[in-house]
Amino acid sequence: MSDVTIKKMTEGFYSSKGSKFFGYLRPISALSQLKELLGSVQGLHSESRHICYAYRLGTGNIREAAHDAGEPAHSSGDPILNQLRANKLTNCAGIVARVYGGTKLGIPGLREAYSQAIKDAISKSVMIPYVEMVLFKLAFGYELEGEIQKLISASKAELLGQDFGKGIHYSLRVPEHNAERFEEAMMNLSYKGLRLEKS
Q: What is the 3-state secondary structure (H, E, C) of 138-194?
A: EEECHHHHHHHHHHHHHCCCEEEEEEECCCEEEEEEEEHHHHHHHHHHHHCCHHHCC
**CB neighbours of residue 151 within 10 Å:** 18
**Is the model's pLDDT at 160 over the cut of 90?**
no
Q: Are residues 16 and 75 in the same domain?
A: yes
pTM of the model: 0.75
Domain boundary among 91, 110, 129: 129
What pLDDT does 91 receive?
93
| 74 plus 146 within the same structural domain | no
Domain containing residue 167: CATH number? 3.30.70.240
Q: How many domains does the chain have?
A: 2
Domain span at residue 144? Answer: 133-198
pLDDT on residue 191: 86
Instruction: Using the predicted structure, report yes or no on whether residue 176 has a pLDDT greater than 90.
Output: no
pLDDT at residue 139 tops 70: yes
Q: Would you say residue 1 has pLDDT above 60?
A: no
User: Rounded to whole angstroms, how far apart are CA atoms 124 and 120?
Assistant: 7
The mean pLDDT value of the chain amounts to 92
Look at residues 87, 114, 129 and tell me which one is the last residue of a structural domain: 129
Q: Please indicate whether residue 84 or residue 29 has the higher confidence score (pLDDT).
A: 84
Listed in sequence order, the DSSP H helices in the chain are 31-44, 77-86, 106-123, 145-154, 176-187
Residues with Cβ within 8 Å of 181's Cβ and at least 6 positions away in sequence, in order, are 155
CATH code, domain with 112: 3.30.230.30
Please answer whether residues 19 and 113 qualify as being in contact, where contact means their C-beta atoms are separated by less than 8 angstroms: yes
What whole-number distance in Å separates Cα of residue 5 and Cα of residue 9?
11
pLDDT tens digit string along 58-109?
877 889 999 999 999 999 999 999 999 999 999 999 999 999 999 999 999 9
Question: What is the pLDDT at residue 17?
Answer: 95
